[in-house]
Amino acid sequence: MIKKDFIAKISYQTGLNDGLVRLIIERFLKEIRESLLRREKIEIRSFGVFYIKKFKAKKGRNMKTGEIVNIPERQKIVFKPSKIFNKEK
């Protein structure tokens, strides 16, 4: 499912026009992006948590040459789903 599909589905279910739903979704995603750029944790109840996790520097290996390569410290966005997703239907 892509953003366009979400917009169409929410528009149909709520009776709101596509333009308004698109604006709401765009603003919601913009706030999530900006919060993550500020390194803030985002918690959406009954859905999950987005946060930034640091990964230590490590040594890797080039699979073609066998040469050891240094991989620098990095940060990644991580999503931890809510426990509601673990329930069986």
Ramachandran region, residue 14 (left: φ > 0; alpha: ψ -120 to 50; beta: rest):
alpha
Are 13 and 50 part of one and the same domain?
Answer: no
**In the predicted model, what is the mean pLDDT of residues 72-80?**
95
Are 54 and 31 part of one and the same domain?
Answer: no
Are 25 and 66 part of one and the same domain?
Answer: no
Contacting residues for 71 by C-beta, under 8 A, at least 6 apart:
57, 58, 59, 60
Q: What are 25-46's pLDDT values in tens digits?
A: 999 999 999 999 999 999 999 9
Are 21 and 55 part of one and the same domain?
Answer: no
Are 67 and 85 part of one and the same domain?
Answer: yes
% of the chain at pLDDT higher than 70: 98
Q: Six-digit token pair at 88?
A: 């069986």
pLDDT exceeds 80 at position 89: no
Are 16 and 31 part of one and the same domain?
Answer: yes
Question: Which of 49, 52, 68, 51 minimizes the C-alpha distance to 60?
Answer: 68
* Owning domain of residue 33: 1-39
Mean pLDDT for the chain? Answer: 94
User: 26-34 — which CB contacts under 8 Å span 24+ positions?
Assistant: none
Q: What are 8-29's pLDDT values in tens digits?
A: 999 999 999 999 999 999 999 9
